[in-house]
Chains A and B, each alone.
Chain A
C-alpha cells in the first residue's frame, strides 16, 4: 500500500488461458461423453426376461435358498456383461425376472444368462473325462491362440497329471475316435455324433489328441469372437447355475416413457444448475464467477469419470450427483465466507484470500471425509441401487474436492495475486462500511 505496485497482468492472462483451454475441451467433447453414459432401466427402458426355474436333477427342491443362489449367480454373470444395477427379482415360487438396462445385444445377453455353464470334457462315447469339479475356480480367461492369434478361452485344472493321463489314453485311440469333445450344458441323452452335426451345437470344440499333454492350462478353441470368448470365460468364472432356466417371457421395456423422463430430468438439471450459478454470482460477485467456472469443470469431470467407469446412471445416481453439486458449491461457499470474514476484519484482499483458504480447508476436509466414510460403508454393505448411489457420491465428492478446493483456489489466486482486486471489497460481496477499522 505504501509502495505503488502495479497490476500483474500476466496472471490474469494465465487465468484466461486456463479458462479458454477448459472451454475448448468441454465444448469439443462434453456431448460425446454425455451421450455415451448408459442410463438405467428407470431412465431409458431396457430389456427384460422372465425365467421359470426348473430343477437340474430329479428330486431337487426349488426353494427360497435355491432361488436366492440362482439370483446371485445371475448377478455375477450380468457383471460379465458390464451392466451395472441390474434388477433381478424373484417372482412367485419358481420364477426369476431379470431387467437389464442399456443392453444392446439382447441375444448375447439371453444366452449368457440362461446357459447353465456346466463345462464337461467327454470322449466320443460321451463318457466324462473332466468336469467342472476339476477346474480351478476363477481360472478361466480369454486369451489368444499362440499360433493363429484367434480368440480362445483358457481354463485351468487342478491336476496336470490327470489331464496328462486322459490325453495319453485318448491319443492311443484310432482316428477319428481320438477326439475330446468340450461340452457346455450336456444333458442326459445327448450324444457326440448327433450334436456335432448341429449348427448351434452344445459342443464348443472337439480337438483331436495326438500327444500327451501334461499341463494345467487347457486351451479351448472354437468359433469365438473376442467378445464371445470373454463372455464364456466370465460365465465359467461366475460358476454354474444351480438350476435350469427356461425363458418364458421376454420383452423390451417401453423406452418412450424412460426417454421422456430423461429429457425432463436433464432439462430440470439445467434449470437447477442455472439457478445455482445465478445465485452464486449474485451473492459472491467476483468469487461467484470463479465458482461457476470450477462448478462447470466439476460437472464435466464427473461426466467423464462416470463414463470411464462404464457405470449406469439411474435415479439414485442423479440424487448423488445433486448432493455432489451441493457439496462442491458448499466447499466454495465455506471458503468464500471465510475470505469475506477476513476482509471484514480489515485484511487486504491478498492476505484475506490466503487466510480464508487455509482456515476453510480443515472444515471442508472433515465434512467431505465424513461423507465419504458414510458412502464407503453404504457401498460395502449395500446392494444394487444403494451401491449405485454411493459410487456416484464418492466420485462426486473426490471431484468436488479437486475442483472446488484446488481449482477454485488456483483461479481466484491468479486474480487476487495480480493485485487488481486490491481495495475492491465489493468485488467479494463485502460493503465498505462492513469493514472494521484496524
Chain B
C-alpha cells in the first residue's frame, strides 16, 4: 500500500457528513438495541453455574450431554458444544447449584469421561463491580487524555479524540448486542484494548495534522483546513493501514486458532481494531475539522478578541 503523497488526492473531507450520519445512525440504533434487547450477559454478570465437560469420545453431541444430565436429574438451561473436535460440552445453569449438586455432577462425569469438569459458580456482584469499575476508570482516563492532549496539542484535538474513543467502545458493545455474543470478563479486556488502540491511532493522525498546520502559512477558512486534513490523512494512510493490518493479523490468528475460550474475545478485538482505524480517519479528524472551522469563524467575527489572544 503505497500512497504518493503529492499526487494521491483522496477527498476524505467531502464525505464527512456521510460518515457522521453513518456513525450517528449506528449509535442511535445501537442505543435503542442496548436499551431494549441489551447485551447477552455471560455468567460473569448473571448468577448461575457454568460446567465445562471435557469428554474423551469426540465429537460429542448436546443430546449426549443432555442425557447424562437427565440421568442425574438435572435439566441444563443451555448446552453448547465447543472445541476443535467438538469434545467439550459447555453446560449452563441459571441460578447457583449447591456444592452437593456440583460434587455429584463432577463425580458423575469423572466416571463417564475420565476428566473432572470445570465448574464455575458466581454471583454477578463481582462481574458487575469489575464492569462498573472499568467504566469509571475509562471516564477518568478520558479526562486525563484530554488534559494531556490539550497541553501537547490543543483542546479541540482532545475532545475529538475522546469522541472517537467512545465511538469505538460503543461500536463494539453494539456489535455484541446485535450478534448476541456473550459478554464476559475477557470482553472487558478486549474493550480496554480497543480503547488503547483507538487513542494511539487517533494521536498519530492528529500529530500529522498538527505538523502540517505548522507548515501552512495561513489557515483562514474551512477550505484551508480541509486541505490540511486531507493531506495529513493521505500522508498517514499507509501507516494507518499497515498498523491496523498487523494488529488484525495477531487478533485474527487468535480468533481462528486460539480455541474456544478466547473466540469471542478475539472477535471483539478484530472488530474493535478496524473500528478504531475507521474512527481515527473518518470521525476524529473530521470532527476536529468541523470544530476548528467553527472556532476560526468565531474568531473572524470577533477580531478584537483575536488580537488580544
| B residues whose Cβ falls under 8 Å from a Cβ of A | 1-2, 4-6, 52, 54, 83-84, 88, 96, 99, 102-103, 106, 115-119, 121-123, 125-126, 129-130, 133-134, 136-138, 140-141, 144-145, 148-149, 152-153, 185-186, 188-190, 192-193, 195-197, 199-200, 203-204, 207-208, 235-236, 238-239, 242-243, 245-247, 249-254, 256-262, 265, 269, 273
Contacts and interface: CB of A to CB of B under 8 A. Distances in A.
Contacts of B260: 261
Report, nearest first, the 3 A-B pairs whose CB atoms are least far apart. A316-B189, A272-B253, A264-B259
A257 B52 contact: yes
A276 B249 contact: yes
23 contacts: A87-B126, A89-B125, A91-B121, A97-B122, A248-B99, A257-B54, A257-B118, A261-B260, A261-B262, A269-B253, A276-B249, A279-B249, A322-B269, A329-B243, A344-B5, A363-B203, A370-B203, A378-B134, A378-B192, A382-B137, A393-B196, A434-B2, A434-B4
A374 B208 CA distance: 21
A280 interface: yes
Contact of B130 (A251, A256, A386): A386
Contacts of B118: 45, 253-254, 257
Contact of A386 (B137, B145, B196, B252): B137
Interface of A: 42, 45, 50, 87-92, 97, 248-249, 251-254, 256-257, 260-261, 264-265, 267-269, 271-273, 275-276, 279-280, 283, 315-316, 318-320, 322-323, 325-327, 329-330, 333-334, 337, 341, 344, 362-363, 366-371, 373-375, 377-378, 380-386, 389-390, 393, 434, 436
A315 B265 contact: yes
A261 B129 CA distance: 27
Nearest to A341: B5
Dominant secondary structure at the B interface: helix
A265 B246 contact: no
Nearest to B235: A341
B148 A373 contact: yes
A32 B141 CA distance: 37
B137 A370 contact: no
Given A91-B122, A272-B253, A382-B134, A373 B141 contact: yes
Given A366-B203, A378-B141, A383-B130, A315 B262 contact: yes
Contacts of B134: 378, 382, 386
Contacts of A251: 106, 116, 119
B259 A382 contact: no
Contacts of B258: 264-265, 268
B146 to A, nearest CB: 10
A283 B3 CA distance: 13
A335 B122 CA distance: 48
A373 B186 contact: no
Dominant secondary structure at the A interface: helix
A42 B186 contact: yes
Given A275-B249, A276-B246, A385-B185, A374 B126 contact: no
Contacts of B138: 378
Nearest to A316: B189
A67 B224 CA distance: 62
A34 B138 CA distance: 31
Contacts of B52: 254, 257
Contact of A319 (B141, B192, B257, B261): B192
A323 B1 CA distance: 22
A382 B99 contact: no
A49 to B, nearest CB: 11
A414 to B, nearest CB: 24
B285 to A, nearest CB: 15
Contacts, number: 230
Contacts of B133: 381-383, 386
A89 B253 contact: no
Contact of B141 (A280, A327, A374): A374
Contacts of B251: 272, 322
A407 to B, nearest CB: 18
A264 B257 contact: yes
A32 B250 CA distance: 24
A320 B247 CA distance: 12
B249 A272 contact: yes
Given A272-B251, A315-B265, A386-B134, A320 B145 contact: no
Contacts of A257: 52, 54, 88, 118, 261
B77 to A, nearest CB: 18
Contacts of A316: 185-186, 188-189, 192
A327 B125 contact: no
A383 B212 CA distance: 41
Contacts of B130: 383-386
B99 A265 contact: no
B148 to A, nearest CB: 6
Contacts of B236: 337
A45, A87, A337, most chain B CB atoms within 10 A: A337
B246 A375 contact: no
Contact of B246 (A87, A326, A377): A326
A81 B238 CA distance: 48
Given A254-B118, A367-B200, A322 B123 contact: no
